[in-house]
């Protein structure tokens, strides 16, 4: 499942591109569109992590960064980060820094449901990586806002 996220024909990767471009294109002003994209993207996250999984193995791994000891886990790590970048970007546009604890809470809920429903392992690493992805998404919001702010200042001073 996670490796599919990295493929070009994967819905989350395409949706991320669409969501990011649309949010930028509308000038980060239309909150209703951004909220609609965030809700849609959250449903995609839930589909990828919960709804389309077959019950099977389950367990708990609470050791931080345990997955770094296994080279074969690198794609899991990257995928978990990438999965939450759009969430951080869209939620960051709506609620600023509050997107980060919201993403951490969503990630915790996903891990808890995976454990209870035997859809996967409850891994602290997944929550760390998902939250890191949201942080990256929020940092993109800040970078874009800063770039747009400088451009608007330059245009204002050029009109004098």
Stated pTM of the model: 0.78
What confidence score (pLDDT) does residue 17 get? 62
Tokens 């991320």 correspond to: 16
* Tokens read off for 139: 């940092």
The Cα–Cα gap between 48 and 12 comes to 8
Q: What's the rounded Cα separation, in Å, for the pair 132 and 52? A: 24
92 within 8 A of 141, measured Cβ to Cβ: yes
| φ, ψ for residue 131, nearest 5 deg | -65, -40
Residue 70's pLDDT is what? Answer: 85
pLDDT band for position 32 (cuts 50, 70, 90):
confident
pLDDT, position 79: 87
């Amino acid at each position: 499942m996670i490796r599919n996220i990295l493929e070009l024909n994967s819905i989350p990767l395409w949706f991320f591109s669409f969501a990011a471009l649309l949010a930028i294109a509308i000038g980060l002003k239309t909150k209703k569109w951004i909220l609609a994209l965030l809700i849609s993207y959250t449903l995609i996250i839930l589909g990828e992590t919960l709804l389309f999984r077959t019950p099977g193995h389950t367990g708990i791994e609470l050791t931080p960064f345990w997955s770094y000891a296994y080279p074969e886990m690198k794609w899991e790590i990257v995928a978990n980060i990438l999965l939450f970048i759009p969430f951080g970007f869209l939620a960051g546009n709506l609620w600023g820094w509050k997107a980060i604890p919201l993403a951490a809470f969503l990630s915790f809920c996903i891990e808890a449901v995976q454990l209870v429903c035997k859809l996967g392992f409850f891994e602290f690493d997944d929550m760390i990586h998902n939250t890191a992805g949201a942080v990256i998404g929020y940092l993109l919001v800040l970078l874009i806002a800063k770039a747009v702010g400088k451009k608007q200042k330059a245009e204002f001073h050029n009109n004098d």
